[in-house]
Chain A
Amino acid sequence: MIRLYDYDLSGNCYKVRLMLAILGLDYERKNVEFFPGKRHREPEFLAVNPLGQLPVLEDGDLRLTQSQAILTYLARAYDASGQWFPLDTPARTGQCLQWLGFADALTATASAARLADGMGFDFDGDAAREGAHKLFAVLDEHLWFHEREGHDWLVPGAAPTIADIACFPYVMLSEEGGIPREPFPAIRRWTDRVKRIPGFVVMPGIFPAILGSQ
């Protein structure tokens, strides 16, 4: 069975849980207490990932780190339709990878601001917020023009891709880092669409499309 080294409040772990749920895959969830226990810095977990980063996915003999790489693997291994990681045209593959890179930039900014504000990490929260604000402006503009051309998702095409799953968590958790989404209406419409993807699951800090539903 697939095993996920996981932390409940991590957006990067959540995006893997979200993808696993959408693909309908069973998995074993191994909790590594990132906060407050800092168990990701202890020998037991460093033996799994010497960089001490979550999440880590194990599937048979394969052990993968880096959430964006894990999403790519899951889509290639378990999505027979080819929807989630598009290989149909070179442009769409490239665009998908571009937004996976954007997701890493969100981790460096919006996620860092959240860790500084919420969990007392010694990061420069203001610099992280400024960086996130620039990214959100780019994302909002991209989505706004895309909508006018009839596209709902980050990569042009009828269906969402792993790019949407990769970027969603730290956009949706931004207020925990003091970054409001109120000035970005196209982002808000896009996050509402992501919440309606069949199989969607939540994490603490992110509500379902209909409050009170499970």
Chain B
Amino acid sequence: MSEQPDPFMLNQWFAISGLTDVGPTAKNTLLMGEKLSYRRAGDGFEVTTADGRTLPVLAQYACLWTSLGQPESGLFEIPQYHETDRRSIVAGSIGVNVSAQRGVENFLDMGHFPFVHTGILGELPHTEVKEYNVRLTEDGSEIIATECMFYQPMASTVSTEGMDVEYIYRVPHPTCSVLYKSSPLDEKRLDVIALFVQPIGPEKLRAHMVLSILDDVNADDFISHFQLHIFGQDKPILENQMPKRLPLDTRAETPIRADKSSIMYRRWLAAKGVTYGTIPAAA
């Protein structure tokens, strides 16, 4: 199994911290096994490796991003992030003992809501994942799943009652996903919850959760509390995944585990030649 990043992963941007957590004093983190230190320097940011190499940086979507290789372009677009009446909050950066791709796979799966997020994102007996659409964009750069409907007792911090919630998932990056869900405050608009996963090692991740939401009622710490509560419920599920790396052979796991979007995600990773954090299908 690969302990070294494949070319596709090597040349990606990865979020390594929320911007609010970056100060003038250097902090350390790991990106695909490489020890990095990062800090605020003058008007910008600086990321260096242990052997003194300076890495490219981006400050975007409330996070600091870097790359071990040479990214071909900037980051994927999240247009809603720039709408002025939204609040953007880094809910927290959480480490989990499982591969980054397992983290994304779990984020895409609605089937676990009633069992794992009982009373919040789902409840018994509403266990059915209704038929939804999933496709690859024309240029093959991202996966989009639409018309994902699910009954949720407490869809967000501003919910007052249960409702059928519509989800749209985007996977524009091998370890990032952007989720859009109906806002309880405005039926024409969508809350945005982005999951930017930093691969620490092949079986270890740090998830940066950035919310861009319509909530003019609650304080940041309550919104963070809500999001971390949900993510805390996912942790034991993630950490008990066997194997800890994501098998790209879609026959490797039962059909229930690997639903439509998960199958497309695995095929997409395989097509891009991703070996880091995965178990490639036998040729």
Contact = CB atoms under 8 A, between A and B. Distances in A.
Interface string A93-123: 0000000000000000000000001111000
Contact of B224 (A33, A117, A176, A211): A33
B228 A9 contact: yes
Given A119-B94, A120-B95, A33 B236 contact: no
Given A118-B94, A118-B95, A211 B115 contact: yes
Given A36-B93, A120-B93, A204-B235, A8 B229 contact: yes
Interface in B52-99: 90-97
B114 A212 contact: yes
Contacts of B235: 118, 175-176, 204-205
B236 A207 contact: yes
Interface string A1-41: 00000001100000000000000000000010101110100
B115 A33 contact: no
A8 B97 contact: no
A204 B232 CA distance: 5
A167 to B, nearest CB: 18
A203 interface: yes
B118 interface: yes
Interface in B229-257: 229-233, 235-236, 239-240
Contacts of A33: 221, 224-225
A213 B118 contact: yes
B239 A175 contact: yes
Given A117-B95, A176-B239, 13 more contacts: A9-B229, A9-B232, A36-B18, A37-B221, A119-B94, A120-B206, A175-B236, A204-B229, A204-B231, A207-B116, A211-B116, A212-B114, A214-B118
Q: Which 9 A-B pairs have the closest CB atoms?
A: A204-B232, A33-B221, A175-B239, A36-B92, A212-B115, A212-B124, A204-B233, A211-B115, A118-B95
Interface of B: 18, 21, 29, 90-97, 114-116, 118-119, 123-124, 206, 221-222, 224-225, 228-233, 235-236, 239-240
